[in-house]
Structure 1
Amino acid sequence: MDKYADIRPYNDDEVAASVARLVADNAFVDLIAKHNLPAWLASIRLISRPLVRQQLKRKWGQVNSVQQVQLEVVRYLEQIVNNTTTKVTFSGLDKLDKNQAYLFISNHRDIVLDPALVNFGLHQHDMNTVRIAIGDNLLQIPYITELMRLNKSFIVKRSAKAPKEMLKALTQLSAYIYDSLIEGHSIWIAQREGRTKDGFDQTDPALLKMLQLNGRKQKKEFAEYVRELKIVPVSISYQYEPCALAKAKELYHKKHHGEYVKSAGEDIESIVEGFTSDKGHVHLAFGQPISCDCSTPEDLAKTIDKQIVESFYLHPGNYIAAQHANAVVDSESEDVKAFAKRMEAIPEHLRDLVTAIYAKPVLRKEEMDNLG
């Protein structure tokens, strides 16, 4: 009996059928056409759909394993890196054991790119890629579900609302993460639900309480169980924040109108913008496996935050936004001019919010330094 069938990624024997469903999905085919064909041709479905399907079958027709999917994803990521970044750099990976499974907990700035770039770094260092935690709120469209589960993503059931239903879902999730690690599969999960909108990266203790549910079932002390999980904090830093304008709009709406409700397809737009927008230099800092005697989720959250904040790579724009006294940035430098030009393109009523997104990591480092 497959107790994780409803949340786990696809196995090798499920890949070919999933690819066939994607090729048959008109919505998916139309999306590919929109972003890969001339607009006039993409709009003529009688021509564009057969054309795209033919290309997909040629490229994906022989794909029948998770490893093959991963290699295709790596090639696509290489294109994204080459076309939308100046460079992607990594630190700390050389200090990790290539044969050890880790629970990577990272800050969260982009829906799909964050774990994708973690995988990109692991692949470059000859390490196995991760299984990725993704909220079921993103899986309202069939082809997104197919793509995610093909790409080693497992489902976090955020839509569960009744207390018993929530506890059951979280207990299953906690056990799945633990069993994956024991079987040698590394895991990626964000430090909190949803992306950081204001630049303030902070781990939610509720996430860590979820992880402990399985430890409690095993009657293990929190600190002992945490050491078993081999948690590695990861700090992801984009020179140019993905979807900064959209994040600022959401913050502005909440401030002036209360609750913000996403429009249909908004998450898909964010994913596409994350892939296609200019990101400049991106750095991923992999921390040290946590081995301290953290006795509570709150203590563990602080320990994770300390590594994420201290290792966050600060770009010139971060210093400029924070007007940092120690910023080694010439007022006439290209960095200052480029950042000023970027800010000028932001609507005036949102400019302070976008600036704050870039400034917050500098201020967080100062706060952490002052706390010792």
Structure 2
Amino acid sequence: MPTNIDKFSDIRPYNDQEIQPAIKRVINSEEFMDAILSFRFPKLSKYLGFALKPLLRRYFLYKWGSIDSIDKMQKVVGVYMQHMIDSTTTKFTYSGLDKLDPEQNYLFVSNHRDIAMDPSFVNWALFSENFHTVRIAIGDNLLSKPFVSDLMRMNKSFIVRRSVTGVREMMKSLSTLSDFICTSLKSDSSIWIAQKEGRAKDGFDKTDPAIIKMFYVNGKKQKIPFDEYIKSLNIVPVAVSYELDPCDQQKARELYELSESGQYNKSQFEDIESIVSGIIGQKGHVHVAFGKPLSGGFENAEQVAEEIDAQIYRNYFLHPSNLIAAQQDVDNLSAQDIAAFKARIQAIPPELQETVLKMYANPVGHFTG
């Protein structure tokens, strides 16, 4: 990074010099140790956590102690990623990269189903075809724990500040974010960002025009025409589809409670639990479909959002789970697929089953609509 004032220091991913200090902070974090122990050893941690923590710290020092660069961190993540794909998916496929240039930087605007896995699968597809991996946008609502922020920024994530209040602070934050995205695309990195704030818990993928307006803040400041600036960003819509959503029941619980009582209160580690569930849960077949770069002809943010949506709907890969839930083309599916999905639904609490079915069925409506 430059030796002068780093205007993106509060939001950008860590650089090589910052990796080891961040690793040490994570390993020394009591909350990180508590989180790992509660997930890995839920029963033992209640009684023997004090004894397990020193052992866990030694383990992480052994595994991470020699990591001193972004490249080394990416290689470590790559090993975990390969293990995750082997153990939690039946198949991983992708399409559309043959139409893109590995030497070009792109702004990948993706549908959003899983906090960590969406950009991870996009990155794995890119890596498999010798593209550079992306910088990942992540909301600061997920970074309430300092160790989570460190972990994310070690892995090429940058921060979208959603918690700022006041018009002046919000505009300053949007301007910095827009500038950072443009600067990254012009220099050394592609970008991944979700099409809207938060996951599509109901299965409806819809781009928020506010995201497009944020992109243009930097262009507007430079008095570049909207269409010209949008075209310069090389926006590529991306559709990530999971045959099985490891967090389907958690999402349905939130939607159910919101519909019943009008409110839903997250537990302390719920976002972290969702990240872990998404990583270790069974996903079946996962497909990542890359669309075509937006070529121009847009008058406003709404038109850009509509084109992104159109490509995502068109390219979304429909799995047997989607078709069974929507009761479409079921005759062409295997009895084994039908029985397995019905068994999954039956294992879900009765009050949540209809919500989960709609979650899987909704993409079919997009596809056929």
With over 3 angstroms needed to count, the CA separation of the structure-2 counterparts of 1:356 and 1:166, relative to structure 1, is same
Distance 1:329 1:113 in 2: 30
Retained in 2: the 8 A contact 1:103–1:229? yes
- State the 1:226 CA deviation: 0.9
Amino acid at match of 2:367: K
> 2:311 aligned with 1:329, yes or no?
no
Residue in 2 that maps onto 1:364? 366
Preserved CA contact (<8 Å) 2:243 2:285: yes
CA distance in 1, matches of 2:161, 2:58: 35
**How does 1:175-324 map onto structure 2 within 5 Å?**
175-324=179-328
**TM superposition shift of 1:34:** 4.3
Q: CA RMSD in A?
A: 1.5
1:43–1:103: structure 2 CA closer, same or farther, 3 Å change rule?
farther
In the alignment, is residue 346 of structure 1 matched against residue 341 of structure 2?
A: no
2:162 corresponding residue in structure 1: 158
CA contact (8 A) 1:138 1:267 kept: yes
Give 1:16 shift. Answer: 1.0
Shift of 1:292: 2.9
CA contact (8 A) 2:245 2:282 kept: no
Q: Which residue of 2 aligns with 1:32?
A: 36
| Distance apart, 1:323 and its partner CA | 1.1
Amino acid at match of 1:358: Y
Q: What count of residue pairs does the alignment treat as equivalent?
A: 365
Alignment check: 8 A CA contact 1:103 1:181 kept? yes
Checking the alignment, whether the CA contact within 8 Å between 1:100 and 1:184 is kept in structure 2 is no
Q: Any idea what the Cα deviations from partners look like across 1:63-122, whole Å, max 9, x if unmatched?
A: 000111111111111111111111111111122111111100000000111111111111
1:65 maps to a residue whose letter is S
Residue equivalent to 1:49: 53
Question: Once the 2 structures are TM-superposed, how far is the Cα of residue 39 of structure 1 from its aligned partner?
Answer: 4.5
**Equivalent-residue separation in structure 2 for 1:124 and 1:33 (angstroms):** 33
Cα deviation digits, residues 287-337 of structure 1 (max 9, x gap): 11111311111000010001101100000111111111x44434x610100
How many angstroms apart in 2 are the aligned matches of 1:300 and 1:138?
A: 27
Does structure 2 retain, via aligned residues, the 8 Å contact 1:101–1:181?
Answer: yes
Quickly say closer, same or farther: Cα 1:294–1:281, change in 2 above 3 A: same
Mapped partners of 1:78, 1:284: distance in 2: 16
2-structure distance, mates of 1:198, 1:14: 38
Q: Secondary structure at the match of 2:332?
A: coil
Instruction: Verify the 8 A CA contact 2:206 2:309 in the aligned structure 1.
Output: yes
Aligned partner of residue 318 in structure 2, secondary structure:
coil
Q: 3-state SS of the aligned residue for 1:185?
A: coil
C-alpha deviation, 1:186, in angstroms: 0.5
Stretch moving more, 287-296 or 146-155: 287-296
Q: Which moved more, 1:26-35 or 1:73-82?
A: 26-35
Q: Quick check: 1:177–1:187 contact (8 Å CA) kept in 2? A: yes
Which amino acid in 2 is paired with 1:225? Y
1:190 deviates by 0.1
Residue 87 (structure 2) pairs with residue 77 (structure 1): no
Farther-moved stretch of structure 1 (21-30 vs 208-217): 21-30
CA–CA distance in structure 1, aligned partners of residues 94 and 104 of structure 2: 19
Q: Report the 3-state secondary structure (helix = DSSP H, G, I; strand = E; otherwise coil) of the residue aligned with 1:159.
A: coil
- The CA distance in 2 between the partners of 1:188 and 1:212, in whole Å, is 16
**Structure 1 counterpart of 2:213, one-letter code:** K
Structure 1, residues 31-73: CA drift from partner, whole Å, max 9, x if none?
3344456853784234312211111111111100011111111
Question: Could you tell me how far 1:280 is from its partner in structure 2?
Answer: 0.5
Q: Distance in 1 between matches of 2:45 and 2:300?
A: 58
**TM-score relative to the length of structure 1:** 0.95
- CA-CA distance at 1:260 after TM superposition: 2.5
- Alpha-carbon distance, 1:341 to partner: 0.2
Q: Please give the alpha-carbon distance, in whole angstroms, between the structure 1 residues aligned to 2:235 and 2:9.
A: 25
1:297/1:328 CA distance change after superposition, 3 Å: farther
Q: Which runs of 5+ in 2 are unaligned?
A: none
Letter in 1 for 2:365: L
Q: Provide the secondary structure at the position in 1 that maps to 2:193.
A: strand
Alignment check: 8 A CA contact 2:107 2:233 kept: yes
After TM superposition, the score normalised by the length of structure 2 is 0.95
* Contact 1:90/1:285 (8 A) holds in 2: yes
Check the 8 A contact 1:137/1:158 in 2, yes or no.
Answer: yes
Match of 1:370 in 2: none
Change in CA separation of 1:126 and 1:110 when aligned onto 2, cut-off 3 Å: same
Q: Counterpart in 1 of 2:22?
A: 18
Give the corresponding residue for 2:126.
122
